[in-house]
Amino acid sequence: MNGTQLNYEVVTDIIPKGARVLDLGCGDGTLFSKLMKEKNITGVGVEINQEEVIKALDKGAAVIQGDIDEGLKQFPDKSFDYAILNQTLQSTEKPDFVMDEMLRVAKKAVVTFPNFAYWKVRFYLFFKGKMPKSKQLPYEWYNTPNIHLMTVNDFFEFCKKRNIKILKSVYLTRNKARSGILIKTITNFFTEEAVFVVSR
């Protein structure tokens, strides 16, 4: 199982059967269609890229084209059980606004992101003196969609300052998942990708 597959499995395990879901930055709809098949969810995806929207529609997902940095005005408060922001928060222009909006329209949110404090990232930067590249971070510095580089510790601090409750955390490393909060320093150092369930 590769990292993307594990990510999808972890998120799918979190979402309860029959939930109403908003998938923000849903890409080609692979995760959304998986949730429809395995969890019988209803809801909608939002994606800015027109080509990806077409692919998602071909998979049977209900998707609309939109820019989540502009807000979610079309959705009433608490109209979804869960909002998903999978590998997207770090590529938004206004992550604080996006988080506020998703927690307005959904009772709970699932947020996943690559941890830029992972030890391999630190070592790459330290020894090579260049922005790191890996399976999780395959881009060059000049074409990366990741415009807000953050760590597990940054996310904890962000949630504390904004009165966001962390209900669950899962840490992915080398295609393995572990739950719970260990010593934060160790978690931050050894986590390649983080998955959080949050609410207001």
| Three-class HEC string of 31-96 | HHHHHHHHHCCEEEEEECCHHHHHHHHHCCCCEEECCHHHCCCCCCCCCEEEEEEECCHHHCCCHH
pLDDT digit string (tens) for 107-123?
999 999 888 655 455 55
The distance from CA 32 to its chain's CA centroid, rounded to whole angstroms, is: 13
The distance from CA 109 to its chain's CA centroid, rounded to whole angstroms, is: 9
CB 6 within 8 A of CB 172: yes
pLDDT digit string (tens) for 46-85?
999 999 999 999 998 999 999 998 989 999 999 999 999 9
pLDDT digit string (tens) for 114-164?
886 554 555 555 555 655 556 665 655 455 555 567 788 889 999 999 999
Q: How far is CA 152 from CA 30, 118, 139, 159, 185, in A?
A: 26, 9, 21, 11, 9
Report field, pTM of the whole predicted structure over 0.85: no
CA atoms within 13 A of residue 70's CA, in its CB half-sphere: 8
pLDDT at residue number 93: 86
pLDDT at residue number 119: 44
Average model confidence (pLDDT) across the chain = 83
Residue percentage of the chain with pLDDT more than 70: 75
CA angle 71, 69, 112 (to 5 degrees): 105
Q: Tell me how far apart the alpha carbons of residues 46 and 32 are, in angstroms, rounded to a whole number.
A: 11
Q: Between residues 186 and 19, which one has the greater pLDDT?
A: 19
Q: Tell me how far apart the alpha carbons of residues 4 and 156 are, in angstroms, rounded to a whole number.
A: 23
pLDDT at residue number 102: 96
pLDDT at residue number 141: 46
* Beta strands at 165-173 and 193-199: parallel, antiparallel or unpaired: antiparallel
Give the position of tokens 């309860």.
16
Give the position of tokens 């330290």.
126
* Helix/strand/coil percent split, the chain, to 5: 40, 25, 40
Q: Between residues 174 and 86, which one has the greater pLDDT?
A: 86
pLDDT at residue number 129: 61
